[in-house]
Amino acid sequence: MIKNELYLSMDYKYIDFILIINVEGMHFQPHKPEGIEFKVDSEDNLRFVLRPKDPEEDACGHRLGLECKVYKSYPASDKQVKFVTAFNKHRKMINVSDEITLPFKPNDEILISEDGICADRFSPRRDLLPTYILEIIESVELELNKHADRFFKLLRWRQFCDAPGEVLKSSSLYWRVGEGEYPITPLDGGTSNVSTVNGMFGIHWSERHKNDMQNLWLNEGLTEPLGHTLLREAATLSQESPRSSILMITAALETAVKTHISKIVPDAKWLMEKSPAPPIDKILRQYIPLLHKNKSGKINFWKKLNPEINKVEKLIVIRNKIAHTGKLPEITKPVQNYIELVSDFLYIIDVLDGHEWAKSLVGYELRKSLDWPNPIDKRIKIKISQGY
pLDDT in tens, 329-345: 765 678 889 999 999 99
**Whole-model pTM over 0.85:** no
Rg (CA), the chain: 27
The span from the CA of 151 to the CA of 119, in Å, is 39
Share of the chain above pLDDT 90, in %: 61
The span from the CA of 335 to the CA of 322, in Å, is 14
Q: Which residue has the higher pLDDT, 268 or 128?
A: 128
Cβ atoms of 134 and 126 closer than 8 Å: yes
Q: Is the pLDDT of residue 297 over 70?
A: no
Average pLDDT over every residue of 246-259? 94
Average pLDDT over every residue of 81-103? 95
Average pLDDT over every residue of 355-384? 87
CB atoms within 10 A of CB 142: 12
For residue 126, name the pLDDT band (cuts at 50, 70, 90).
very high
For residue 6, name the pLDDT band (cuts at 50, 70, 90).
very low
- Average pLDDT over the chain, rounded to an integer: 87
For residue 192, name the pLDDT band (cuts at 50, 70, 90).
low
Q: Worst-scoring range by mean pLDDT, 75-79, 192-196, 214-218, 309-313?
A: 192-196
Q: Which residue has the higher pLDDT, 165 or 315?
A: 315
Question: Would you state the pLDDT for residue 386?
Answer: 60
Q: Which residues of 95-111 are buried (b: 16+ CB within 10 A; e: fewer)?
A: bbbeeeebebeeeeeeb
pLDDT in tens, 109-118: 999 999 999 9
Question: Would you state the pLDDT for residue 265?
Answer: 82
Average pLDDT over every residue of 206-214? 91
For residue 4, name the pLDDT band (cuts at 50, 70, 90).
very low
pLDDT in tens, 18-68: 999 999 899 999 899 999 999 998 877 999 999 999 999 999 999 999 999
Q: Is the pLDDT of residue 2 over 70?
A: no
For residue 3, name the pLDDT band (cuts at 50, 70, 90).
very low
- Give the start-to-end residue ranges of the domains of the chain: 4-190, 195-387
For residue 10, name the pLDDT band (cuts at 50, 70, 90).
very low
